[in-house]
Amino acid sequence: MGMPVVHFEIIGTDPQRLRSYYGDLFDWRFDVTSDAAEAVSAPGHYGFVQPDGGGIPGGVGGGADYPHRTLFYVGVPDVEAALRQAERLGGARVSGPHPNPDGTLQVGFFTDPEGHLVGLAAAVPATAR
């Protein structure tokens, strides 16, 4: 396999309600002690989930001004390079790269030629922080 899916998100205007719903539905537990990039979710409104027994990590967040969406992220070595490649192949950059609050990760967003929103994520090397 090429680059793997590394993270999923469910974003909406009432993140606490969404976390309660998905927690009850799938027995997910959320860690709300860390923030995501502000392009992803309002500060203090993101909950990271790591499903017990496997699966990819994810998160549920958003806030009043964040559009409803479900999204997957593909792990790439360089978000900017991947966004440029997506554009060369007929996609459109939506935004990014955006750093997370502690600078350890960058994310970006593009739409494919049919308009599907896709996320990109790359770790930022310690030497670049």
Domain extents in the chain: 5-128
Please state the rounded mean pLDDT for residues 42-46. 95
Predicted confidence at residue 54, as pLDDT, reads 79
| pLDDT at residue 1 greater than cutoff 70 | no
What is the SS3 string spanning the chain?
Answer: CCCCEEEEEEEECCHHHHHHHHHHHHCCCEECCCCCCCCCCCCCCCEEECCCCCCCCEEEEECCCCCCEEEEEEECCCHHHHHHHHHHCCCEEEEEEEECCCCCEEEEEEECCCCCEEEEEEECCHHHC
pLDDT at residue 18 is higher than 70: yes
Q: What is the pLDDT of residues 79-120, one digit of tens each?
A: 999 999 999 999 999 999 999 999 999 999 999 999 999 999
129: pLDDT strictly greater than 90: no
CATH architecture for the domain at 5-128: Roll (3.10)
Give me the percent of the chain exceeding a pLDDT of 90.
81
| H helix runs in the chain, sequence order | 15-26, 79-88
Residue with the bigger pLDDT between 126 and 37: it is: 37
So what's the pLDDT on residue 126? 79
